[in-house]
Amino acid sequence: MLGDLARKLRLLGFDTAYMGGVTDDFLLEFASETGRILISRDSSLCSRAGSRGLRAICASDLITVLLSLGLRSVSFDPSSARCPHCNTPVTEIDDVDLLRGEIPPDVMVEHSSFYKCFGCGRVYWIGSHWGNIKKLERELNRSLGMSFEDYSLDEGKYLVALARRSMETYLRDGKTIGVPADVTERLRARRGAFVTLRTYPGGELRGCIGRPYPTQPLVNAVIDSAVDASVNDPRFEPMRYEEVDRVTVEVSVLTEPRDLEYRNPLELKDKVEIGRDGLIVMWTMGSGLLLPQVPVEEGWDVEEYLSYACMKAGAPPDCWLSTRPRIQAFQAIVFEEVAPRGEVVRKNLERR
C-alpha cells in the first residue's frame, strides 16, 4: 500500500526498498540487517521495531516521512534520482546514439537529456511530466514549511521588538505603526504569524491572536497580530498602556497549514507529533487552532492534544474520533522575551 510513497522517495534519491507479501518478522529482520528505517502504516509493527532498537516511521504520506527525517526542503534532481521501479541509481547518457532502438525517434529529436537505469533497462527523459514533478516539489516545500529557511535569532529579536512596539504604540496613541524601512526581504515574505502575550512573572495568558495562513507579509502579520492580541482577544479585557511592562511578548512564525490525510481517525495518533505540529480543527460549527508550543506547555499526549484542539473549535472532545473533521497541521519557529523588554530567546518546543 506504500508503493507510491516508495516511488517518490526513489525519485528524491533515497535508497528505498519496497516489499509486499512478506511477514512482519521478515521486515524487522531485514531492517535490522541492513540498517534501514522501517516505514509502515502498521502502528503495531512500528512499535515492535522500536522495542528492538530500530528506527521506524509510522506513516503513509510523503510529508510526514520527510518531516520525520528532519528535512526542511527537497529537490527532484534527475542526476541523483533512483529508478522508481527498481531502486537502481539512474545514469545520465551523454551519447544519445547509444539509446537508439530503446526510445521513440521523435523523443530523441525533441529531448537532449536522457537517463538510463541499468537495473531494469528503463530510459527516462525530462518530458511534459517533469512539470508535474516540479509542481509536487513546490507543494512539498510549502508543506515542509522550513523551506522558508530557519529564521535566525537576530531576526527573531527584530520580530519580537516589532510586536512590542506595535502593541505599545497602539495602546498609547491608538495608532497602528507602519512597516519599518529597514525590513529585509526575508521578513517581507508572506508567512502566517501569531503574537502571544503573557503576564510577568506569572506567565498567565493575556492575549493570543494571529494569522494562520500566509496572506500577509510577515512583518505586517506581526504588527497586526500584536495589536489584536492586546485589545481584540475576546477572552480578555483589552489591555491598558500601564500593563505593557507587565507582559512578555512571544512571536510564532508559521509554516503553511496542510491537511492531514487519514482513513481511520486512529491514524492521527501517528501523524501528529507533540512539539512539532500545531493543529487547526474545522468542523460544521466552526474551527479552532492550537500552536505547537501549547501541548508541550500543558504536558498533553497526542490524544489529549487532539481532544483539546476539537474543544478549541467548539466541538466535543471526541470529535476527531467520531465525525472525521478536517484537520490541518503546521509547524512554527517561536521567539519569546524572557522578561518584559528583556532578552529574546528561541523557544524550545521539545517535550519536557
At CA 240, angle to CA 238 and CA 243, rounded to 5? Answer: 115
Q: Is 161 helix (H, G, I), strand (E, B) or coil?
A: helix
Burial class (CB in 10 A: 0-12, 13-18, 19+), 273: middle
Query: Which residues neighbour 155 within 8 Å (Cβ) at sequence distance 6 or greater?
Result: 184, 186, 187
Per-residue pLDDT reduced to its tens digit, 285-329:
999 999 999 999 999 999 999 999 999 999 999 999 988 899 999
b/e code 285-306 from CB counts within 10 Å (16+ = b): eebbbbbbbbbbeeebebbebb
This prediction has a pTM of 0.62
Q: What mean pLDDT, rounded, does the chain reach?
A: 90
Q: Are 16 and 81 in contact (CB under 8 A)?
A: no
Share of residues in the chain with pLDDT > 90 (%): 59
Return the exposure string of 323-336: e unless at least 16 CB atoms fall within 10 Å of the residue's CB, then b: eebebbbbbbbbbb
Res. 143 pLDDT band, cuts 50 70 90: low
Q: What is the H or E stretch that residue 191 is in?
A: none
DSSP annotation of 143: H
- For residues 34 and 88, what is the distance between their CA atoms, to the nearest angstrom? 16
* Banded model confidence at residue 1, pLDDT cuts 50, 70, 90: low
- 185 in helix, strand or coil? helix
Domains plus CATH for the chain? Answer: 3-144 (no CATH), 153-251+338-346 (3.30.700.20), 258-330 (3.30.1490.150)
Res 112: pLDDT: 75
- pLDDT: is 146 or 193 the higher one? 193
Supply the DSSP symbol for 158: H
278, 290 contact by CB (below 8 A) = yes
pLDDT, tens digit, 9 for 90 and up, residues 102-142: 888 888 778 778 899 999 999 998 877 888 888 888 878 76
Q: How far apart (Å, rounded) are the C-alpha atoms in residues 123 and 67?
A: 31
Extended strands (E) in the chain: 38-40, 56-58, 91-93, 114-116, 123-125, 192-199, 205-211, 247-254, 258-259, 278-283, 286-290, 326-330, 332-337, 344-346
Q: What Cα–Cα distance (Å) separates residue 167 from each residue in 53, 206, 231?
A: 50, 13, 9
Provide mean pLDDT across the span 241-248: 97
The answer to whether 206 and 236 are in contact (CB under 8 A) is yes
